[in-house]
Amino acid sequence: MGYRGSKAFAIVAGFVFCQMFAFAITSGAPALAQQYPARAVRVVVAAPPGGLTDIIARSVSQYLHEKLGQPFVVENISGANSAIGATTVARAAPDGYTLLVNPSLLIITPLLVKVPYDVVLDFTPVSNLGTVPLTVATQPNLQASTLQDFIKTVKSKPEEHSWAIESIGAVGHLTVERLQIESDFKLVQVPYRGTAPALLDVMAGRVSAIITPVPNVLQQIQAGALKALAVTTKERVTTLPNVPTMEESGFPGFEISSWYGVWGPANMPAEVLTILNRELGAAMKTPQVTSRLVAQGLLPVGSNAADFKQFIASEIQKFDKLIKTADIRIAN
């Protein structure tokens, strides 16, 4: 073959190679995305085992394991109002192999104390799994059958009544503050280290009332050990069908809930988000996953990443305003 023929052959061969290379990249991209997950995924729960956050994470992780063919391994890393577990995820590689399941406490904690991460910049919102209504619950012998009765009772003798606060800065505490602001009264707040000791004192009558997520008190309410006066969601709760909403109790627009989401480190790949959004959305519509959670008071959502990001922004704005209005401060 002569020089010109060799040159022509090289040009044609180079052109064919480029075309094949481009085709391989474009046709291979979806295939690469479908390979996620290619190994086990670490699911960090920034709370101790046994609580609702842990139950949600394990229910969803089992579903993802069955659907995607790789283990989603739950690891409990609790402490510092969820900041330790959150920091672990924020510092992980943003490849989709480290995820965080956490309640709304994740966005509230940085509004109250310094944390080693930026809740907006250092995480990728993946999905809002569901919301949990709160309830205003009192000791069973308190002479109040409605929320308005309770407010009249405590206003008449505020020195005789008090709130149990299961955790400073938790959603229940913030709801107490909002109710007091909107009703123009203020009671002594008794802080506790967790829900269990707070409930014991309310049931024993040593403290008048508590506002807490429904799953924390559902059994006690059903057994008559506590009295539920209102729930904080827009609609009534199926597990407490006879308990009115805050709006029905004279507080229009009063809606607060605890909610549970999935996050990853910042800058997760779009194709991984697409897969997780698809499967998590399906999970929160599957009775296999939701039946146990609904029985505990969870209202399934399963939002996509874009909607969750927008929801988080509105929640941060709402809670920041409430914290400043109520002048809630926690020393670091």
In this prediction, residue 172 carries a pLDDT of 95
Q: In this structure, are residues 112 and 80 in contact, taking their beta carbons and an 8 Å threshold?
A: no
Confidence of residue 165 (pLDDT cuts 50, 70, 90): very high
Among 8-22, 50-64, 109-123, 243-257, which is the least confidently predicted range?
8-22
> Residue 28 half-sphere exposure, CB side, CA atoms within 13 Å?
6
CB atoms within 10 A of CB 145: 11
Q: In this structure, are residues 210 and 172 in contact, taking their beta carbons and an 8 Å threshold?
A: yes
In this prediction, residue 297 carries a pLDDT of 84
Mean pLDDT across 32-46: 86
d(C-alpha 180, C-alpha 121), whole Å: 33
Is residue 14's pLDDT more than 90?
no
In this prediction, residue 267 carries a pLDDT of 98
Is residue 150's pLDDT more than 70?
yes
Q: SS3 letters for 16-68?
A: HHHHHHHHHHHHHHHHHHHCCCCCCEEEEECCCCCCHHHHHHHHHHHHHHHHH
- Torsions phi, psi for 245 (to 5 deg): -80, 170
Instruction: Look at residues 47, 94, 106 and name the one whose alpha carbon lies nearest to residue 74.
Output: 47
Give the pLDDT confidence of 189-246 residue by residue, as tens digits. Answer: 999 988 889 999 999 999 999 999 998 999 999 999 999 999 999 899 989 999 999 9
Question: How far from 60 is each of 43, 276, 286, 293, CA to CA, in Å?
Answer: 10, 11, 10, 10
Q: In this structure, are residues 146 and 229 in contact, taking their beta carbons and an 8 Å threshold?
A: yes
The alpha helices in the chain, defined as continuous H runs, are: 3-34, 52-68, 83-90, 105-112, 147-156, 171-183, 195-203, 214-222, 270-283, 287-295, 305-326
pTM over 0.85: no
The residues, ordered by sequence, that sit 6+ positions from 96 with a Cβ below 8 Å of its Cβ are 36, 37, 41, 264, 268, 269, 272, 276
- 164 beta partners: 190, 210
Is residue 184's pLDDT more than 90?
yes
Percent of the chain with pLDDT over 90: 77
Mean pLDDT across 146-174: 95
Q: In this structure, are residues 166 and 263 in contact, taking their beta carbons and an 8 Å threshold?
A: no
- 54 beta partners: none
Q: In this structure, are residues 284 and 290 in contact, taking their beta carbons and an 8 Å threshold?
A: yes
Domains and CATH numbers, the chain: 41-131+259-326 (3.40.190.150), 133-231 (3.40.190.10)
d(C-alpha 90, C-alpha 152), whole Å: 47
Question: How far from 25 is each of 21, 22, 30, 253, CA to CA, in Å?
Answer: 6, 5, 9, 52
Confidence of residue 331 (pLDDT cuts 50, 70, 90): low
